[in-house]
A and B are shown apart, each in its own frame.
Chain A
Amino acid sequence: MNPGFSFGSYVSGTSCVHRLDPRTKLIAGCVFIAVLLCAKTAAALVVCAAFTALCYALAQIPPSKAARSLAPLMAIVVIVAVLNLFVTQGGQVLVNWGILRISEAGVQTCLFMGARLTIMMLGMSLITLTTMTIDLTEAFEWVLKPFARFGVPAHELGMIMGIALRFMPQFANELAVVYHAQVSRGARLSNSPARGVRMLTSLMVPLFTSVFRHAETLSAAMDARCYHGGEGRTHLHPLRFAPHDGAAVAFMAVLAGCVAAIGYLL
């Protein structure tokens, strides 16, 4: 029925950023966060911002799409920034309301943290905007693989994430149907808390029974198709590093170098 559900914010395309190996993007994302955390000055942030803008241009993602994917994350940015505004003290006091004081240093940190987090979110959004979630799970599985010898079930975790993603839209649909059905029977979230709880159980119990029902057949279906763990499995899309993955690594190195140089020089 309602087709309006999509998980993640993938924008299809064929740019060089889209074509990067998901593992490269995942690792580059981690490096990017590290670099940002090391950037202590406004100048370093400007470099990072320019770098992010360049990446968006390369990925051919229009600013409107970027802004839309960023919008839900801005709440976190605002909360952190406002906290910093009041917590950090130093320099001239600008406003004084009883226990609440805003000082010059507070304003500075607030702006700095806000900018840094925004850039960080933009960088992360770029990954989800240009990578299909299914590819990300495979990258995630690969990253975890070295830990398999310590007992981390890398393949299983990847499989679980993949199946969870596959069933997400389905459960969203089923939840919508159950919601409509219960609303038709006069259920409402507002009014008394007791009614609200009753409404929630009337939604959650059918959802969970449906999860179990699906799980039972799914496991039989996977069995019937010879699933027996990660051993000896091949892949339709094996992950392969290509030359442009090397270019991306070099690109990240340049960024890290720039930020380090700025930190050193200033």
Chain B
Amino acid sequence: MIDVQNVRFTYDGANFALDGVSLHVRKGEFLCILGGNGSGKSTLAKHLNALLIPDEGTVKVQDMPTADADCTYRIRETVGMVFQNPDDQLVASLVEDDVAFGPENLGVPTDELRERVTKALEDVGLSGFERHETHALSGGQKQRVAIAGVLAMNPAVLVLDEASAMLDPRGRAGLMRVCHELHERGMTIVMITHYMEEAAQADRVVVMEHGHVALEGTPDEVLVQARALAHLNLDVPFAARLSLDLRDAGMAVQPTVDAGKLAREVLTLGEAGGVCTAASASAAPLDAVDTDVDFPTCEGDADAPALIEFQDVSFTYDAAEAKRQRKRKQAPAARQAKWGNSPDSLWAVRGVSLQVRRGEFLGVAGHTGSGKSTLIQHMNGILKPTSGRVLIDGTDIASKGAESKVRGSIGVVFQYPEHQLFAETVYKDVAFGPRNLGLSGEEVDALVRSSLERVGLSFDELAEKSPFELSGGQQRRVAFAGVLAMDPQVLVLDEPAAGLDPASKRSFLEMISRLHDQGLTVVMVSHCMDDLAAMCDRVAVMNEGRLLGVGAPERLFLHAHKLKEVGLGTTEPQAFAETLRAGGWPLEQEKLYTEKDLAGMIADACGANSSGNDVASPSPAGSEGQVVE
């Protein structure tokens, strides 16, 4: 289908982004190209549909060389491409106009256009969205519109260039579902990603490094090479890590990336070892499994002083409509979107009572649109509650003069904070906050210096550089420093690791933990349950604007069943433990399992001939960066 032969390519004439890549994409396969940032995977993607032409070597699409300008449009018609940022690739204001854009360019007659648009939207599960405005869709829906726009051109190959990187888990799941459905119907799919979980679902995986193909093979062959992958700045899927740990402990399990498969194997071994019985398995169907621990819905103890207190807070972006509804005393029947939250729901946050205690690390979990972002914008008075009160250190933020006091003591870091950089030097950008507080030159200087150091950047090296010259990860650190320079007591973070590759994400989260250890109170919004469980003292779960529950992760994440009801998961090790329990494996009811616990527990139970040494040193989640061969 696509044949890449010894391709070399350079943007600047000096460094080769692609340095001798050969690759063959077969008809009808699901190929995944993995790689860390700067491995050349996106550059390769752009070669597949003639957006870039190789400097050396050839790329042929159905025997048409991309270097031949006459073939360009035929190649682009054959190889459709979806890009990373959902906001950047939609051309028209209305969904149907955008989907029609490609075939319009190809000169498809109007009647057929209509057919193609209807068909393409059906294929991505967005029938009925024809007249919707593109900007009002969720990120996942936008990406699916982008896919529909490509499908309407009737391509033979679909290339997704990190199309899921900026989506939340639900949007990502929807995107993967669409890709699988298309693949089943014979579409060739080339997916570029740094999510291993996605690669695990492919037919074949190619791993890129420094413009080369580093590894190639089926997911099971490639992804279990944990050490090589960690070295390439990629995450190893949980199941692969666990299966390797178990093998290290001397158990006879196949290395795999499929958690379900691993669970079955472990259960078989367990039965053989007499740990569990198949009889008890049938007695406990999966969805009935729940613990006896109460779902923590409210916080009883108030031993630690509350720094931020929400008292029955509700908020709506449309106050006038809320008033009207209150008069009518009835809510109109809300239209429900097929996937995702309804855009018509009136209350962004409803009846939330919550305390943030001094010195704690509070996590906030929930879907996009569940009210998390609205909630944290109340914490420094950017939004004022429509009803209810928010108290900061005992002061109502709605009261006069409270605002400026609050702004200094509570630092909010928004999503993608690097997009807010503006000054000509790093120094000036970081100094923006303290200057606004009216501090003197020396004080500002000291704050800039200390806050840059706190985010792990060197003041002397970077202070006079332009923030726009820095790498993405460094830019985000500078933006962080800009908030820290206000010397806040509380740091409120909205998805601080969104869009980072695994290595940057890890070091970033470590930095946040360090800041917390230094005495900052931290509130962090995240989609990743494993991060929340590992880092937080308490976790609050939001669902459709309401606070579903708040409590310590050890208690909260035991409720896999309840969390699943609102479409959230629990931590990966806990989910695996639940599967084992459902299979009849005797497990403690009131314990949140970590990967280390699981590996040790399973190995012990099966009486594997572990030398003790091996069990003690399985690589715990999140630290395989340090594993040295």
Contacts and interface: CB of A to CB of B under 8 A. Distances in A.
Interface of A: 1-4, 132-134, 162-163, 165-166, 169-170, 173-174, 177-178, 180-188, 195, 198, 201-206, 209-210, 213-214, 217-218, 220-228, 232-238
A181 B91 contact: no
B102 A226 contact: yes
Q: Which residue, A132, A202, A224, has most C-beta atoms of chain B within 10 A?
A: A224
Contacts of B109: 234
Contacts of B87: 170, 214
A3 B318 CA distance: 9
Contacts of A188: 436
B468 A225 contact: no
Contacts of A228: 73, 105
Interface string B574-598: 0000000000000000000000000
Contact of B83 (A2, A132, A182, A220): A220
Nearest to B110: A238
Interface in B498-545: none
A196 to B, nearest CB: 12
Nearest to A12: B131
Contact of B436 (A170, A185, A222): A185
A178 B102 contact: no
Contacts of B100: 235-236
B58 interface: no
B102 A133 contact: no
Interface string B405-442: 00110011011010111110000000011011100000
A226 B486 contact: no
B83 A221 contact: yes
A221 B436 contact: no
B76 interface: yes
B433 A209 contact: no
Contact of A187 (B91, B408, B415, B432): B432
A204 B420 CA distance: 10
B446 interface: no
A177 B343 CA distance: 19
B40 interface: no
A181 B88 contact: no
Given A234-B109, A235-B104, A202 B432 contact: yes
Interface in B462-494: 468, 482-483, 486
Contact of B80 (A166, A213, A224): A224
Given A166-B91, A198-B432, A227-B105, A217 B373 contact: no
B421 A206 contact: yes
B544 to A, nearest CB: 16
5 contacts: A1-B374, A133-B93, A184-B411, A209-B421, A220-B83
A223 B106 CA distance: 12
A227 B77 CA distance: 11
Given A184-B412, A188-B436, A221 B419 contact: no
Contacts of A174: 419
B107 interface: yes
Given A162-B91, A170-B87, A184-B380, 5 more contacts: A1-B374, A217-B89, A224-B49, A225-B105, A235-B100
B433 to A, nearest CB: 4
Nearest to B344: A3
Given A186-B436, A236-B104, A221 B89 contact: yes
B386 interface: no
Q: Which residue, B93, B318, B414, has most C-beta atoms of chain A within 10 A?
A: B93
Contacts of A233: 104-105, 107
Contacts of A185: 407, 432-433, 436, 482-483, 486
Contacts of A182: 420, 432
Q: Which residue, A163, A174, A223, has most C-beta atoms of chain B within 10 A?
A: A223
A217 B436 contact: no
Interface residues of B, number: 73
Contact of A221 (B91, B96, B407): B91
Contacts of B411: 184
B224 interface: no
B101 interface: yes
B96 A236 contact: yes
B108 interface: yes
B272 to A, nearest CB: 54
Given A184-B411, A184-B412, A228-B73, A217 B88 contact: yes
The 6 closest A-B pairs by CB, nearest first: A186-B436, A205-B422, A221-B89, A217-B88, A236-B100, A185-B433
A201 B435 CA distance: 15
A204 B421 CA distance: 10
B94 interface: yes
Nearest to A226: B105
Q: Which residue, A178, A204, A221, has most C-beta atoms of chain B within 10 A?
A: A221
A163 B411 CA distance: 36
A17 B107 CA distance: 31
B422 A217 contact: no
A95 B423 CA distance: 56
Contact of A225 (B76, B421, B423): B76
A166 B87 CA distance: 10
Contact of A134 (B88, B92, B317): B92
Interface string B102-139: 11111111100110010000000000000001111000
B356 interface: no
Contacts of A226: 73, 76-77, 102, 105-106, 153
Contacts of B113: 234-236
B51 interface: yes
A236 B374 CA distance: 38
B149 interface: yes
Contact of B414 (A169, A180, A224): A180
Contacts of A238: 110
Given A184-B380, A206-B419, A226-B102, A162 B92 contact: yes
Contacts of A206: 419-422
Contact of A2 (B73, B107, B317): B317
B150 interface: yes
Contact of B150 (A134, A181, A225, A234): A225
B382 A184 contact: yes
Contacts of A183: 382, 407
A89 B534 CA distance: 81
Given A134-B94, A170-B135, A178-B419, A187 B436 contact: yes
A226 B411 CA distance: 46
Contacts of B153: 225-226
Nearest to B133: A169
Interface in B64-101: 73, 76-77, 80-81, 83-85, 87-94, 96-97, 100-101
B88 A218 contact: yes
A184 B104 contact: no
Contacts of A223: 51, 76
A226 to B, nearest CB: 4
B87 to A, nearest CB: 6
B88 A221 contact: yes
B455 to A, nearest CB: 15
Given A186-B436, A236-B110, A225 B101 contact: yes
B377 interface: yes
Contacts of B318: 4
Contacts of A134: 92-94, 97
A188 to B, nearest CB: 7
Contacts of B103: 234
A201 B88 CA distance: 24
Contacts of A165: 93
Given A134-B93, A186-B433, A224-B76, A180 B382 contact: yes
A209 B114 CA distance: 37
A223 B94 CA distance: 20
Nearest to B117: A236
A236 B150 CA distance: 16
A165 to B, nearest CB: 6
A184 B419 CA distance: 15
Given A170-B135, A186-B436, A236-B97, A224 B81 contact: yes
